[in-house]
Structure 1
């Protein structure tokens, strides 16, 4: 059965805005939760560079890479107004370890 062109245009006129609305309503703070049963290695001591105006230092941390931990070196985060940087960290809950992503806190 063939759909008349005017009905096909109407269908697209409704579907496209709905698709954009679904993408726009996705929360920016959604995170992937990482749960591991193996404790991370001790945090490495890194030298913290001198102050850099407009940036906050995000210290290095261990990231789970599927079969083991890999070190991610520290880096600068652009400062957000009226917020402080809370670094990511591993948190033990029972036998599991959860990665809590770094974030800006007001």
Structure 2
């Protein structure tokens, strides 16, 4: 009888151990988007503006991401471009991270506004000419005697 009780106790213990336990699963997905940094950049460093150089534009320094940490890149001079203004680069918050937007050259606003104004004047002039043309250019000219014959 003792063996029978021992066998039942062993069977009970085995059944408890064999019962399924709640499954724990944890999935971590890390998608690396090229050019997107998850850590915000530090505030810009103060750089004293050097004296102006003729024919050059000062490009301020910036924080650059090297894959592990931010590193400061000092500012420098770039050759000026006639009719253009340099727009410095900046960090932009994007999709939960930060992305560097390079600086570029943009047309001067004065020239762009003048070009828009000239274009609008040309368009207005063309519209006036189209509505106030006389004679053969209007498209509704009929040579004398042709209207009576039904040719126009």
TM-score (norm 1): 0.66
1:40 and 2:41 are equivalent in the alignment: yes
Per residue, is there more strand in 1 or in 2? Answer: 1
> By percentage of residues, which structure has more helix?
2
Deviation beyond 6 Å, 4+ runs, structure 1: none
Equivalent residue runs for 1:12-91 within 5 Å: 34-91=35-92
Whole-Å separation in 1 of the counterparts to 2:35 and 2:103: 13
What residue number does 2:98 align with? 97
**1:96 offset after TM fit, Å?**
1.1
Q: TM-score, normalised by structure 2?
A: 0.47
CA root-mean-square deviation: 1.1
Alpha-carbon distance between aligned partners in 1 of 2:59 and 2:36, rounded to the nearest angstrom: 22
CA distance in 2, matches of 1:94, 1:34: 11
What are structure 1's unaligned runs of at least 5 residues?
Answer: 1-32
Q: Which has the larger radius of gyration?
A: 2
Could you tell me which runs of 5 or more consecutive residues in structure 2 were left unpaired when the two chains were aligned.
1-33, 108-152
Could you tell me how far apart the structure 1 residues matched to 2:35 and 2:82 are?
29
